[in-house]
Structure 1
Amino acid sequence: MEQTLTNLGLSVLFAVLGLVLLFVGYRAIDMLTPGDMSHRIFEEGNVAAAILGAGFVVGLAMIIASAIS
């Protein structure tokens, strides 16, 4: 039982760490691209900005997942 709780705690810790790193990475790409990316995606409906953001998030998530595991 103790090992299960330890593994559960570590899983939650790594999940939170991955989400924090993903958020920081998204903010970094937002600062590197001209304009406010969230505004372009949600307010203006810019599909190209949404594809760029989605591709970046998926790629970064794959890197973080392989680094954590």
Structure 2
Amino acid sequence: MFNLTRPKLVTLAEAEGYADVVDFLEDYAQCSVVPAICIAPDCDHTAELEPDQRAGFCEVCGRPSMKSGLVIAGMI
């Protein structure tokens, strides 16, 4: 089941210029590179990563805490 209300997902969609998370997910559902966000509580760094990324390296805080928006939403 999809979870479209997670705060980090909303933050990521807004950072990419989307007012609606659904529009964000529809635009990136079939892409080979998608927006990702650091899920550490004190970091909101974003980057373009693989759609299935669950533990990418954050260039700002140095943790393996980057997740793609598709993973956060539960699409992957």
Q: In which range does the TM-score fall when normalised by the shorter chain?
A: 0.3 to 0.5
Indicate the structure with greater helix content: 1
Asked which structure has the greater CA Rg, the reply is 1
Indicate the structure with greater strand content: 2
Structure with the bigger RCO (C-alpha within 8 Å, sep 6+) is: 1
TM-score where L is the length of structure 1 = 0.35
TM-score where L is the length of structure 2 = 0.33
